[in-house]
Structure 1
Amino acid sequence: MNSFVHKTVVVQLQTDGTGRCPVLAHLSYDAEDPFAVTAVFAHDGRVLARWRLDRQMLGEGLTRPVGVGDVRIAPHATGMWRELRLEFLGDFRVDGSRHRAVVFAWAPAVAAFLREAHQVVAPGQEEVRVDEMLAEILSSS
């Protein structure tokens, strides 16, 4: 069975003071890192940002608002269009505010990606190989 899932979707990026602009979101899930989903946002062949998201939080964000830190996720509906709203808070500016970007993704596409990831590692079946991780850390010091 494949231990890796990848899906590329077109999302809408909105930053402070701008309208929405389309970018690519490359979503990936690897059974070696069972709790995380990696999202790489790209435009014109350039990587704009890379975020590691909690897989469970991403799924919960499809039905209710979640997150209180640098990442906040919530369902967003515009008429019949079901979107997932992902808000990312970045570094602090000189004035004390933070850089902020909001991404709107088509919710059914994210749900389909998560269904595939759940086929690789079912929710609740994630394992962290602590002994192997500690051995690797200790061998590199």
Structure 2
Amino acid sequence: MEREAEEIAEGILKSAINNGGEILFGNYFKEIPGCIKSVNLILSMYGTIHSKMMNDTWTYFKISQAGIEFIESGGFAGKKEREDYKREMESLNRELARLNMESLEYKKKIRHQESIIRMHKYIQTLSWFVSIVLAVLLFFLKK
């Protein structure tokens, strides 16, 4: 029922654009659809319904700039695509943030390992230096 209301409303919006921004109820409908209330709700978001009657019919509908932009951007199909795209971008942004955090943690771990390796090299160099000094001392003390 909702999809039917969207299709009818989108058709009215397109007809209004093609008709200079306005459309008469009688020019679009031959009979009153069961989802007329939903159609009217959608239309009220994208234009003005004039002379609404008790049975939810109206005299004419005038589309607003928002309605024109809505139809030009693809209507309900375009809206769904934009929402899907937005959800996909949000998902990708969350994934990117997660990967960035993992990358930072990895870099932190690597820096720690590099500092340990550097300290090991300093100790190794100091050990070689002490060994050489002791060897030289023993060499001269033996003579």
Greater strand fraction, Structure 1 or Structure 2: 1
TM-score past 0.5 threshold: no
Range of TM-score over shorter length:
under 0.3
Which protein has the larger Cα radius of gyration, Structure 1 or Structure 2?
A: 2
Q: TM-score, normalised by structure 2?
A: 0.25
